[in-house]
Amino acid sequence: MKFTTKFTILIFSVFFTIGAFAQDKKPASPAATAKGNISGANITIEYSSPFVKGRTIWGELVPYGKVWRAGANAPTTIETDKNLKIEGKELAAGKYSIYVIPENGSATVIFGKDPKMSAYNYDEAKDALRVQVKTKKSSKMNESLVYTINKNNITLSWENIDIPVSVK
């Protein structure tokens, strides 16, 4: 009996210790949501927010000249309840995926018609809109990727770069 009791206590101790460690682990790229209003349009961006973790992001982890899903895990999506002017071009109300093709000093921001399409099976024929924007040096280091919805733009910020997209 003594051996069985000690063995049972050992098994329960290991089980609860493993459970405690599992609860402390944070997701590598937690889900995030940005909400805001521009010119009367309610805008929601859903994305996963990866961390820099000492890596060089632009041009390395996220290579120049290649389609990137503008977040981590599932495709990043944007939803608006009203038509928008994105960099002066019309985007109808609806839900879209967001992709970025980064370059040194600029980026192509793509709004895809299929909000479930990932960058791995990206199809240019399903683009709703493409706009070219200039990137800016961030005012601070952004350890995690973040989208902000301001009064006249949406900005993706990560590491030391901001990608602002004008919206009306």
Q: Indicate whether 150 belongs to any domain.
A: yes
Query: pLDDT tens-digit profile of 28-62?
Result: 899 999 999 999 999 999 999 999 999 999 999 99
Q: Indicate whether 18 belongs to any domain.
A: no
- Give the integer Cα–Cα distance in Å for 93 and 38: 13
Amino acid identity for residue 48 in this structure = S
HSE of 135, CA atoms in CB hemisphere, 13 A? 22
Structural domain of residue 152, as residue ranges?
28-166
Q: Give the total number of structural domains in the chain.
A: 1
Q: Indicate whether 158 belongs to any domain.
A: yes
Identify whether the C-beta of residue 109 lies closer than 8 Å to the C-beta of residue 155.
Answer: no
The pTM assigned to this predicted structure is 0.84
Q: Indicate whether 60 belongs to any domain.
A: yes
Query: pLDDT tens-digit profile of 97-142?
Result: 999 999 999 999 999 999 998 888 899 999 999 999 999 999 999 9
Query: Which residue reads 């290991």 in tokens?
Result: 14
